[in-house]
Structure 1
């Protein structure tokens, strides 16, 4: 990997990832978005209440609260494969944590494995946002990178097209057999406010990071504000055998890279 691009701040951390982690996968508290305006704070609280209530029922919502310079825009979404109960639990946790992690910020975002929440006084809805990203990659390499990369490229191309297709709510998942004993699993997800073309654009940018950050790696996830892609050599999306998934992922070392514009 090259680290000569000074436009990005790269932060590395060695961590243990679990299938159902209580910690956020990523978070952003814009340091340039402090506010002491009580009206904005009130609108943020209103947004979070609405996001939790609506997302727990439907899995997705975009909304706004207030008007003028105090108006706040919000989005919450669960991964489309996640059952309602897990979705509801996730968004409740996210709404609570984002206020704790990002106090007095008008631009705040938090991602968990099953859901994510975002709000801002600037209208971000319908716009592709890949300025901030968090990337995780497995430190272990595959044994046959050429075969693996070919299979991964074909799989990601297929599910990215499905995710951006009308009626699929920006979501697609699939798997492919690499051998009799090894299966590759992948998932793509856009925020549902994006158009078909914008979803395609975001996913293409996300997958475009694979050669740089995830080349030959057994697992990888790219988290942007507008989309998310992930692949693993174990089942991680629903419906799944939780015992099998947990056994496959426990004590697997990942490195994380945080990219700030």
Structure 2
């Protein structure tokens, strides 16, 4: 198993109860275990059990992935009215197949509502999916917090050369992902650094972002690498609007190629 260390990188307001209860936990299934990061935001309001908001949240999350025509791993829906309206976003990594995506998001909703039992805004990052919800509008907005990072404890043998090659790979992938359509903004690829060491990378935005906002989000996430994970042979940076990852081993499948999105009707 590849050794990793995980830490939170979150902008907090003073006296904010650890930025709304941030913690790391392990979700163990029969097949595997995956690192996860959760943020329960007490600053954005709380709800009571069996309230209208609670009912709307449960209804939305239980039906979020019910539309089987969505096969590109992005779900953004709302339920309810006025102050009891709930907005949710579910995003799966671009190479994850639809059935696995829905399974990941369903696991995430159970975990998130248990770990954040009364917060109106919360987010959970799994390895293959991300789920967030809020009582405020979250669609089409560039958001960078709460963020997290993980890194491999091992260093590259030639850090300077490794960083050069990594930077070029992430730059190329960022351009490809940002130019994606309203269903999918994801890119993955690999390149060779020193000593024939291959670097595998993947970057992704929520597809509701504009091309410019996706680009800005990814560039900002990549800029965190020298501070959090400089010289490491693998790392991840996650944000609500985008995420990046690179490793010295292949961690993704070749993504499914989708037909171009239909042009909007006039």
**Shared fold, TM over 0.5:** yes
Q: Given the alignment, which residue of 44, 47, 51 partners 1:35?
A: 47
Question: Aligned-pair distance for 1:180?
Answer: 6.3
Aligned to 1:69: 83
Q: TM-score, normalised by structure 1?
A: 0.81
Alpha-carbon displacement from aligned partner over 1:57-86 (angstroms, at most 9, x marks no partner): 422111111111111111111111111232
Query: 1:81 aligned to 2:81?
Result: no
Q: Given the alignment, which residue of 207, 227, 230 partners 2:242?
A: 227
Q: Find the aligned partners of 2:204 and 2:103 in 1 and give their Cα distance.
A: 20
Structure 2 portions without partners, runs of 5+:
1-8, 256-266
Aligned to 2:156: 142
Is contact 1:160-1:200 (8 Å) kept? yes
Alignment of 1:172-187 (within 5 A): 172-179=187-194, 181-187=196-202
Structure 2 CA distance for partners of 1:108 and 1:56, relative to 1, 3 Å: farther
Structure 2 CA distance for partners of 1:80 and 1:111, relative to 1, 3 Å: same
Question: Aligned-pair distance for 1:179?
Answer: 4.7
Alignment of 1:133-172 (within 5 A): 133-167=147-181, 169-172=184-187
Moved over 6 A (4+): 5-13
Alpha-carbon displacement from aligned partner over 1:209-235 (angstroms, at most 9, x marks no partner): 011111111111001111100000000
Q: TM-score, normalised by structure 2?
A: 0.80
Q: Find the aligned partners of 2:87 and 2:46 in 1 and give their Cα distance.
A: 16
Q: Find the aligned partners of 1:56 and 1:238 in 2 and give their Cα distance.
A: 21
Aligned residue pairs: how many?
A: 234
**2:120 match: secondary structure:** coil
Alpha-carbon displacement from aligned partner over 1:70-117 (angstroms, at most 9, x marks no partner): 111111111111112321221111111111111111101111111111
Q: Find the aligned partners of 2:106 and 2:197 in 1 and give their Cα distance.
A: 36
Structure 1 portions without partners, runs of 5+:
241-261
Question: Which is strand-richer, 1 or 2?
Answer: 2
